[in-house]
Every structure is written in structure tokens, then in C-alpha cells.
């Protein structure tokens, strides 16, 4: 795959994100043979373009972390992308649907490490020992592709649908709770829309951070201390609309609430 094509595909998803315009998936006809490795090259170029525009990376995010989603997409590995500074919504601020194409929200468990983690061979125990604190978070995903319809390479080239993040401020040491049995409910206007437990994330959210460290090691990178890490959806993603009031509760890990306008 030559540099020109990588740039063309990164421009394609990047432009759609900036213009909030739905696009056909890359594999529909632009480049049907896109592989996972090539898709990460496109993602790297997209990240490079964003950095060149003056944006900064806040932290990495994991996606496709539930067994159900992995089976549905017929893959063995989750995927990763990046949350940028312009995606962060401060807790308490409303989420404005007009900033997105067709946003959905996912409750997630976030980690902040006190030391860098470099794979290969990183385990969940290594992650827990390296963790400064865990926190509740909500990710806003907004695939740039029509109807959230994509293959795995497509979504990797679209920075794994990353569009927004609300980082809750209720911080806990990982030893203070069992993250696999943290129950999560997501209610909109008082009605429960989805629910789950931390174990939905690769059996335990620490496994997700370990997988991230091990995947990043394949390109000589590591998971860095101090960055918030989104480990993947604990429940199914739920669409949001103006007028919604969202309340997400995390057993033993606080809550995150916000209005949608
Ligand atoms: O964060 C996620 O799990 C989303 C990954 C991309 C899949 C999607 O957009 O549904
Ligand atoms: Mg997510």
C-alpha cells in the first residue's frame, strides 16, 4: 500500500469527521482489499494529521472488547484508537448532538497508570499493579460510516469511531473494588436502556489494558503513565437525542450524568 493511498484514505475519514458527513465504508468500493495492518497505517496517518493541526492525544481507547462483538465481527483481537483533546466533554456539561453525525454512548471503566507498560507479555496483574486509579467514563462513538456499517479494517481507519469522552471524577484504587463485578446501568430519562458488568470487557477491564500494551508493543509503543485509558464498552452502545438526560451508575465507582441538547 503506497503512501499516497494511505493519505487518501486518512483524508477521507478525517474530512468526514470534520464535516460531520456520513461516508460509504472504505471497503465498499474505494479500496475493498483494506487489511487490518493497512487500516492501522491509515489510522496512524489520521493521527499524524490531527497532531499537525494542533490537536493532542488525551489517551488511548479500546474497542470491540466484548466476546459478543468480537464474534459478531469474526475477530480474535479488540482494536484501539485515540481520544483527542477536542473530543473531551467536561463532566456536567451538556453533550450537543450537533457536534456529531449519529452519536451513541458507551459506559466504560477508565484506567490511569502510575508507570508505563510495555509489552509483549503484559498481564492483567501487571496492569493492576501499575494502576494509579480507575474511574467511570462514558465514550461517545460516532462512526463516520453510513448506518454504523463497517468491516473491522474500516473502523480501525476511522479511529475506532472515537468522537467524545466524559471522564468521571470518582477515582478509586483498583484494589478497592472487583472491576469484573462492577455493575453498570445506563438510564435515559429514567428508563434503563442498557446494563452490564465489568466482566463484559474481555473478562476484566484490566485484560483490556494488557491487550492494548501487547498490541502496541508490536509497533514499538507502550501504554503511557498518566493518560486516561478507555477499556471498552461495558454495555451495548445506546443512541442519544436532544432532550435526553443520561445517568450512568457504576457499582462502587460513582456515576456520570449529563444532559443532551
Ligand atoms: O469503542 C468501541 O467499542 C467502538 C469501536 C467501534 C465499533 C463501533 O463504532 O460500534
Ligand atoms: Mg468504546
Q: Mind listing the pLDDT tens digit for each residue in 153-198? A: 999 999 999 999 999 999 999 999 999 999 999 999 999 999 999 9
CA 77 distance to own-chain centroid: 14
The pTM of this model reads: 0.97
CA–CA dist 2, 159 (Å, integer) = 20
Residue owning the nearest CA to atom 3 of ligand 1: 63
Per-residue pLDDT at 215 exceeds 90: yes
Residue owning the nearest CA to atom 2 of ligand 1: 63
Distance 160 CA to ligand 1 centre (A): 6
Please choose, from the candidates 140, 133, 155, 129, the residue with its C-alpha nearest in 3D space to the C-alpha of residue 25: 155
pLDDT number for residue 68: 76
Residue owning the nearest CA to atom 6 of ligand 1: 160
Among all ligands shown, which has an atom nearest to the Cα of 68? 1
The 8-class DSSP code of residue 113 comes to E
List, for residues 81-124, the tens digit of each pLDDT value.
999 999 999 999 999 999 999 999 999 999 999 999 999 999 99
CA–CA dist 220, 19 (Å, integer) = 33
pLDDT number for residue 213: 98
**64 CA: nearest ligand 1 atom:** 3
Distance 69 CA to ligand 1 centre (A): 9
CATH architecture observed for domain 3-182+198-239? Alpha-Beta Complex (3.90)
For the segment 16-28, the average pLDDT, to the nearest whole number, is: 98
CA–CA dist 61, 231 (Å, integer) = 6
Residue owning the nearest CA to atom 4 of ligand 1: 63
**237 CA: nearest ligand 1 atom:** 10
Q: Where are the domains of the chain?
A: 3-182+198-239
Among all ligands shown, which has an atom nearest to the Cα of 101? 1
**141 CA: nearest ligand 1 atom:** 9
Residue owning the nearest CA to atom 1 of ligand 1: 63
**155 CA: nearest ligand 1 atom:** 6
Distance 34 CA to ligand 1 centre (A): 18
Phi and psi angles of residue 140, each rounded to the nearest 5 degrees, phi first: -100, 115
Q: Any residues with Cβ below 6 Å from ligand 1, and which? A: 61, 63-64, 106, 139, 141, 143, 148, 155, 160-161, 232-233, 237
CB-CB contact of 260 with 248 (8 Å): no
Establish whether this prediction's ipTM goes over 0.85. Answer: yes
* Beta bridge partners of residue 72, listed in sequence order: none
Distance 243 CA to ligand 2 centre (A): 23
For the segment 196-215, the average pLDDT, to the nearest whole number, is: 97
- Number of DSSP helices (H) and strands (E) in the chain, helices first: 6, 11
CA–CA dist 62, 83 (Å, integer) = 10
Per-residue pLDDT at 45 exceeds 80: yes
Residue owning the nearest CA to atom 8 of ligand 1: 161
Residue owning the nearest CA to atom 5 of ligand 1: 63
Per-residue pLDDT at 147 exceeds 90: yes
Strand ranges in the chain using DSSP code E only, listed in sequence order: 57-63, 79-84, 104-113, 131-141, 162-167, 183-188, 191-197, 228-233, 238-239, 245-250, 255-259
Give the HSE-up count for residue 26: Cα atoms under 13 Å, Cβ half-sphere. 30
pLDDT number for residue 90: 97
Amino acid at each position: 500500500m503506497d503512501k499516497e493511498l494511505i493519505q487518501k484514505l486518512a483524508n477521507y475519514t478525517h474530512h468526514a469527521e470534520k464535516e460531520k458527513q456520513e461516508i460509504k465504508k472504505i471497503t465498499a468500493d474505494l479500496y475493498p482489499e483494506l487489511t487490518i495492518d493497512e487500516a492501522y497505517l491509515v489510522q496512524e496517518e489520521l493521527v499524524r494529521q490531527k497532531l499537525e493541526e494542533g490537536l493532542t492525544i488525551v489517551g488511548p481507547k479500546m474497542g470491540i472488547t466484548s466476546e459478543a462483538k468480537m464474534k459478531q465481527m469474526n475477530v480474535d483481537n479488540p482494536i484501539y484508537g485515540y481520544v483527542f483533546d477536542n473530543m473531551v466533554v467536561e463532566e456536567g456539561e451538556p453533550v450537543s448532538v450537533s457536534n456529531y453525525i449519529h452519536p451513541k454512548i458507551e459506559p466504560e471503566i477508565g484506567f490511569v497508570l502510575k508507570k508505563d507498560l510495555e509489552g509483549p507479555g503484559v498481564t492483567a496483574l501487571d496492569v493492576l499493579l501499575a494502576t494509579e486509579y480507575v474511574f467511570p467514563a462514558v465514550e461517545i462513538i460516532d462512526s463516520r460510516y453510513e448506518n454504523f456499517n463497517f468491516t473491522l479494517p474500516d473502523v480501525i481507519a476511522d479511529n475506532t469511531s472515537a468522537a467524545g469522552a466524559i471522564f468521571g471524577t470518582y477515582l478509586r484504587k483498583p484494589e478497592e473494588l472487583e472491576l469484573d463485578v462492577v455493575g453498570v446501568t445506563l438510564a435515559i430519562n429514567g428508563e434503563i436502556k442498557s446494563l452490564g458488568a465489568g466482566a463484559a470487557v474481555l473478562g476484566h477491564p484490566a485484560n483490556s489494558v494488557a491487550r492494548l500494551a501487547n498490541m502496541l508493543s508490536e509497533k514499538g509503543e507502550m501504554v503511557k503513565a498518566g493518560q486516561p485509558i478507555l477499556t471498552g464498552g461495558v454495555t451495548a452502545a445506546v443512541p442519544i437525542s436532544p432532550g435526553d438526560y443520561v445517568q450512568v451508575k457504576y457499582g462502587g465507582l460513582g456515576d456520570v450524568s449529563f444532559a443532551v441538547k
